[in-house]
Amino acid sequence: MLKVKVNDIDIEVEEGLTVLQACEIAGAEIPRFCYHEKLSIAGNCRMCLVEIEKSKKPVASCAMPVADGMNIKTNTELVEKARKGVMEFLLANHPLDCPVCDQGGECDLQDQSMFYGIDKSRFKENKRFVPEKYMGPLIKTQMTRCIHCTRCVRFATEVAGVPEIGAIGRGEDMQITTYLEKAMESELSANVIDLCPVGALTSKPYVFEARPWELKKTETVDVMDAVGSNIRVDTYGWEVKRILPKINEDINEEWISDKTRYACDGLKYQRLDAPYIKKKNNFKKISWQDALQILKDKINVTKPEKIAGLTGDLTNMETLFACKELFHKVLKSKNLESREKNIYINLNDRKNYLFNSEIKGIEKSDLILLIGTNPRYEATMLNARIRKSFLKNNTEIFSLEDLGDLTYNYKVLSNTTEEVKKIIENNCDISSKIKNAKYPLVIFGESALTMNSSKYMFEGFKKFLNENNKITEEWNSLNILNTNASAVGSYDLDIVCKTNETLEKIDKNFFEIIFLIGQDNISISKKNEFIVYIGSHGDKGAEIADLVLPGAAFTEQNGYFTNLEGKLQMAFKASYPPGEAKEDWVIINEISKLIDGNGLFKDKNELLTAMNNHINSNKKNEFSNLFKEEYINEKILTLPIDYYHSNVIARSSKTMNECRNIRSKLKKTGTEG
Amino acid sequence: MSLKKVSKEQPDKFEFSEENLSLAKKIVLNYPTGKKKSAVMALLYLAQKQNNNWIPLAAMKYIAKYLDISYINVYEVATFYSMYNLSPVGKYFIQICTTTPCMIRGAYKLVDVCKKNISEKENESPDKKNCSWTEVECLGACISAPMAQINEDYYEDLNVKQFESIIKDILKDIKPKPGSYRGRVNSEPEKNRQTLLENKNA
Model ipTM? 0.85
Torsions phi, psi for B154 (to 5 deg): -95, 135
Nearest to A179 among B2, B4, B71 (CB): B71
- A243 or B191: whose pLDDT is higher? A243
For A414-459, the pLDDT digits (tens) are 888 888 888 888 888 899 999 999 999 999 999 999 888 888 889 8
> Which B residues 57-76 touch A at CB under 8 Å?
57, 61, 69-73, 75-76
Band (pLDDT 50/70/90 cuts) for residue A278 is: very high
pLDDT of residue B129: 75
The yes-or-no verdict on residue B110 having pLDDT over 90 is yes
Q: State how far the Cα of A134 lies from the Cα of A141, in Å rounded to an integer.
A: 7
User: What's the Cα-to-Cα distance from A637 to each of A5, A416, A645, A647, B151, rounded to whole Å?
Assistant: 59, 9, 20, 22, 58
The pLDDT assigned to B156 comes to 93
**pLDDT attached to residue A340:** 87
The sign of the dihedral angle between the CA atoms of B185, B187, B189, B194 is negative
Residue A175 and residue B3: Cβ atoms within 8 Å? yes
Tell whether B80 is within 8 A of chain A (Cβ). Answer: yes
Q: Give A527's pLDDT tier (boundaries 50, 70, 90).
A: confident
What residues contact A25, with CB distance under 8 A and at least 6 apart?
Answer: A6, A11, A13, A17
Tens-place pLDDT, residues A388-417? 999 999 999 999 989 889 999 999 998 888
A167 to B76: CB separation less than 8 angstroms, yes or no: yes
* Residue B42 C-alpha, separation from nearest chain A C-alpha, in angstroms: 18
Interface of B with A in 82-111 (CB under 8 A): none
Q: Is pLDDT above 70 for B15?
A: yes
Q: Say if the Cβ atoms of B2 and A166 lie within 8 Å.
A: no
| pLDDT for the residue numbered A524 | 85
Cα distance from B106 to chain A (closest Cα, Å)?
26
Examine residue A440 and say whether the peptide bond preceding it is cis (omega within 30 degrees of 0).
Answer: no
- R_g (Cα) of chain A, nearest Å: 28
| Residue A138 and residue A204 in contact, taking contact as beta carbons nearer than 8 Å | yes
* pLDDT above 60 for A671: no
Q: What is the mean pLDDT of residues A594-620?
A: 83
Contact B4 A165 (CB under 8 A): no
A10 in helix, strand or coil? strand
A178 and B CB contact within 8 Å: yes
Whether B31 contacts chain A with CB within 8 A: no
pLDDT at A672: 41
For residues B136 and B102, is the Cβ–Cβ distance under 8 A?
A: no
Residues of A in contact with B4 (CB under 8 A): 169
In percent, how much of chain A has pLDDT > 90? 67
C-alpha distance from B82 to closest chain A C-alpha (Å): 9
Which pLDDT score is estimated for B74?
95
Average pLDDT of the segment spanning A613-632: 71
CA distance A60 to A43: 7
The CA distance from A505 to A515, in Å, is 14
Distance CA A601, CA A524 (A): 32
**Is residue A634 pLDDT above 90, yes or no?**
no
How many C-beta atoms surround the C-beta of residue A218 within 10 A?
17
Cβ pair A163:B70 closer than 8 A: yes
pLDDT score for A627: 66
pLDDT of the residue at B1: 54
Residue of B nearest to A179 (CA): B72
Nearest-angstrom CA–CA distance, B127 and A528 = 78
Contacts A178 to B, Cβ<8 Å: 72
Element (H, E) at A180: none
Q: Across the strands, what pairs with A397? A: A368
pLDDT exceeds cutoff 70 at B7: yes
Q: Chain B residue with minimal CA distance to A174?
A: B3
The verdict on B79 touching A (C-beta cutoff 8 Å) is yes
A168 contacts chain B (CB < 8 A):
yes
Kindly state the average pLDDT of the residues A295-303. 92
d(CA A132, CA B106): 38
More confident residue, A372 or B200: A372
How much is the pLDDT for A35? 95
CA distance A520 to A505: 18
Q: Which residues of B touch A167 (CB under 8 A)?
A: 76
Distances (CA, A) of A364 to A239, A357, A474, A475, A667: 41, 10, 13, 11, 34
Strand, helix or coil at A175?
strand
Rounded to two decimals, the pTM is 0.90
Pairing of strands A440-445, A411-412: unpaired
Chain A contact for B160 (CB, 8 A cutoff): no
**Measured in whole angstroms, how far is the alpha carbon of residue A576 from the centre of its chain?**
22
Q: Which residues contact A553 (CB under 8 A, 6 or more apart)?
A: A267, A314, A536, A537, A577, A649
> Whose CA is closest to A90, among A140, A35, A33?
A33
pLDDT band at B18 (very low <50, low <70, confident <90, very high): very high
Does the beta carbon of A119 lie under 8 angstroms from any beta carbon of chain B?
no
- The per-residue pLDDT for A171 is 85
Residue of chain B whose alpha carbon sits nearest to that of A168: B76
Size of interface A-B (CB pairs under 8 A): 40
Best residue in B44, B67, B79 for a mutation probing chain A (most A CBs within 10 Å): B79
Confidence grade of residue A629 (pLDDT, cut at 50, 70, 90):
low
If you average pLDDT over residues A200-220, what whole number do you get?
A: 93
Question: What angle do helix axes B40-50 and B18-29 make, rounded to 10 degrees?
Answer: 160
- The 8-class DSSP code of residue A158 comes to I
Report the Cα–Cα distance between both ends of chain A, in Å, rounded.
Answer: 54
Q: Which residue in A166, A173, A672 is closest to B76 by CB distance?
A: A166
Residue A424 CA to residue A462 CA, distance in Å, equals 9
Question: Which of A168, A177, A409 should be substituted to probe chain B, the one whose Cβ sees the most B Cβ atoms within 10 Å?
Answer: A168
**Residues of B with CB below 8 A from A673's CB?**
61
Q: How far is A92 from chain B (nearest CA, A)?
A: 18
B79: chain A residues, CB-CB within 8 Å? 168-170
What is the structure's pLDDT at B193?
78
Residues of A whose CB is below 8 A from B80:
168-170
User: Would you call A487 helix, strand, or coil by DSSP?
Assistant: helix
In whole angstroms, give the CA distance from residue A474 to residue A452: 32
Q: Do A169 and B3 touch (CB under 8 A)?
A: yes
CA of A172 vs chain B CAs: smallest distance (Å):
9
3-state secondary structure of B156: strand
pLDDT at B202 > cutoff 70:
no
Measured between alpha carbons, how far is A444 from A458 in angstroms, rounded to an integer?
A: 8
* B117 pLDDT more than 60: yes
Nearest 5°: CA angle at A623, between A619 and A627? 125
- Between A411 and B122, whose confidence is greater? A411
Residues of B in contact with A164 (CB under 8 A): 70-72
How are strands ordered across the β-sheet holding A478-481?
A411-412, A396-399, A367-371, A440-445, A478-481
**Distance (Å) from the alpha carbon of B7 to chain A's nearest alpha carbon:** 12
Output the pLDDT for position A673. 38
Residues of B in contact with A165 (CB under 8 A): 72
C-beta atoms surrounding B71 within 10 Å:
22
- Contact of B1 with chain A, judged by CB distance below 8 Å, is answered with yes
User: Do the bridges between strand A49-52 and strand A71-73 make them parallel or antiparallel, or are there none, so unpaired?
Assistant: antiparallel
Best CA proximity match to A148, nearest among A126, A166, A124: A166
- State the pLDDT confidence band at A173, using cuts at 50, 70 and 90: confident
What are the pLDDT digits (tens) for A43-84? 999 999 999 998 999 999 999 999 999 999 999 999 999 999
Average pLDDT, chain A: 90
Residue A370 near residue A397, CB atoms below 8 Å: yes
Given a cut of 90, whether residue A280 has pLDDT beyond it is no
CA-nearest of A331, A335, A336 to A321 is: A336
Residue A416 CB partners (closer than 8 Å, separation 6+):
A400, A633, A634, A635, A636
pLDDT higher than 80, residue A618:
no
Q: Which range among A548-557, A626-635, B110-119 shows the weakest confidence by mean pLDDT?
A: A626-635
- Residue A103's pLDDT is what? 93
Give me the DSSP letters along A193-238: HHH-SSSSEEESTTTTS--GGGSEEEEEE--SSTT--EEEEEEETT
| Residue range B68-89, pLDDT digits in tens | 999 999 999 999 998 899 988 8
What was the pLDDT predicted at A670?
46
Whether B72 and A673 lie within 8 Å, measured CB to CB: no
In A312-432, beta strands by DSSP E? 336-337, 367-371, 396-399, 411-412
Cα–Cα distance for residue pair A644/A376, rounded to 1 Å:
12
In this prediction, residue A48 carries a pLDDT of 94
Please say if the pLDDT value at position B199 is more than 90: no
The average pLDDT across A337-355 equals 88
Q: How far is CA A590 from CA A533, A600, B140, in A?
A: 15, 8, 86
Taking residues A551-569, report their average pLDDT. Answer: 93
Among A326, A333, A290, smallest CA distance to A589 is for A326
Min CA distance, A432 vs chain B (Å)?
28
Look at B3 and A673 and tell me if their CB atoms are within 8 Å: no
Q: CB of A670 within 8 Å of any CB in chain B? A: no
Distance from CA of B90 to the nearest CA of A (A): 23
Q: How far is A673 from chain B (nearest CA, A)?
A: 8
pLDDT of the residue at A667: 61
* Residue A515 three-state SS: strand
